[in-house]
Amino acid sequence: MRHDDRRDGPKLPAPVNGPGGGPGSGPGSGPGSGAVNGPGSGPGRGGRGLGVGTYPGTVMPTEVTETRRRVLLAKPRGYCAGVDRAVQAVEMALDKFGPPVYVRRQIVHNTHVVSTLEKRGAIFVTEVSEVPPGAVVVFSAHGIAPEVRRDAEQRRLRAIDATCPLVTKVHNEARRFAAKDYDILLVGHAGHEEVVGTSGEAPDRVRLVDGTEGAKKVQPRDPSRVVWLSQTTLSVDETAETVHALRERFPNLADPPSDDICYATQNRQAAVKVIAAQSDLVIVVGSPNSSNSVRLVEVAKDHGAPAYLVDDAGEVDERWLDGVATVGVTSGASVPEELVSAVLGKLAGCGYDTVEEVEAVPEDMTFALPRELRPSAAAGPPATG
């Protein structure tokens, strides 16, 4: 799909394999057009598929004893390349500099990831003003506004920027269009960290558009000079509706040069659509503040299955399984695979001991480490300022 051809924003299924390059090298780089996947399969670290398997110790407590109980496990699911990179950045910073390593905001939106890193010596803060001068600070995968970088410089912090390269790409687009005096209609959720960071690139040019209602109300300076950009973790279908509503009001609305909804979000939504259509129930593993995880629940519901979000296996309510033959399982882009395995274990204990992995889109993306942690930066991040 060429972006020039697109009239209503992104559509699924249209993840594009192959070229585009993928980010590969930190800030400033980005994919070509469309969702980008390399060949091969399986998400990054912690996300290897299980294939078809059988779990022992089965009991049959619910009503569907005569129906084959099974799990359909979505692929891809779980860790995306940006989350893998961000978590590795904190782990490597802890190894290299020793604790404490400060992290501005949750490095990724997952409760278990954050608590695991805390146990290793990471200290999560809300603002850099809480970090002692000269200390090491990691910026989260969701990105930061330029003023945060300036604050870190003033405090002479040793900053490691774990902003996902695909978020950086949206920042770059915002700066570029602002420099051309466009108003930027940023489709996203008010208050989300990524939206705050992107808006900070051009605060007097960015207008937040939160869904179709927002599209009806937004008031740009010049309706003929507007472009839409978006948060990376939105629902593809809802965003298409919002962009359609914007285009009805602003026929000259320009498109972003490439999809802002990232490959991982698109691919996980494509996969959950496939399993939801064949499942009586879908369980999404993810934290409530994870935008892409919440979107997976919504997409599953839109495709015909009741769906629940659980942070871990302990939140699976066995009453949901009454009368259910097929359970779909997937996980958000910030979820370690061991949490999915624990949910599968719980389901196996309820008789859902056959797991069929359903691959909707091949995915094999990796990003280079933040430059401050690459081998060439042997001395680590310099004190800024």
Q: Which residues bind ligand SF4 (CB under 6 A)?
A: 80-83, 141, 164, 166-167, 232-233, 262, 264-265, 292, 333
Q: Which is nearer to ligand SF4, 250 or 263 (CB)?
A: 263
- Residue pair 62/324 in contact (Cβ under 8 Å)? The answer is yes
Shortest reach from residue 268's CB to ligand SF4, in Å = 9
**Residues 6+ positions from 382 with CB-CB distance below 8 Å:** 158
CA distance 259 to 306: 29
- Residue 63, token pair as written in the block: 């009503």
Shortest reach from residue 86's CB to ligand SF4, in Å = 7
Strand order in the sheet with 354-359: 53-54, 354-359, 70-75, 326-331, 281-285, 307-310
Shortest reach from residue 290's CB to ligand SF4, in Å = 9
Shortest reach from residue 223's CB to ligand SF4, in Å = 30
Please name the residue that has the structure tokens 């629902």: 235
E strands within 188-261?
206-209, 226-230
**Residues 6+ positions from 71 with CB-CB distance below 8 Å:** 326, 327, 328, 329, 344, 347, 352, 354, 355, 356
Q: Which is nearer to ligand SF4, 83 or 103 (CB)?
A: 83
Report, in angstroms and rounded to the nearest whole number, the Rg of the chain calculated over CA atoms: 21
CA distance 83 to 87: 6
Residue 359 main-chain phi, psi, to 5 deg: -95, 120
Q: Which is nearer to ligand SF4, 354 or 366 (CB)?
A: 366
Q: Which is nearer to ligand SF4, 81 or 136 (CB)?
A: 81
Catalytic choice (193, 194, 363, 372):
194
Shortest reach from residue 323's CB to ligand SF4, in Å = 34
Q: Is 194 a catalytic residue?
A: yes
Q: Which is nearer to ligand SF4, 140 or 279 (CB)?
A: 140
Give the residue closest to ligand SF4 by C-beta: 82
Q: Cite the active site residues.
A: 194
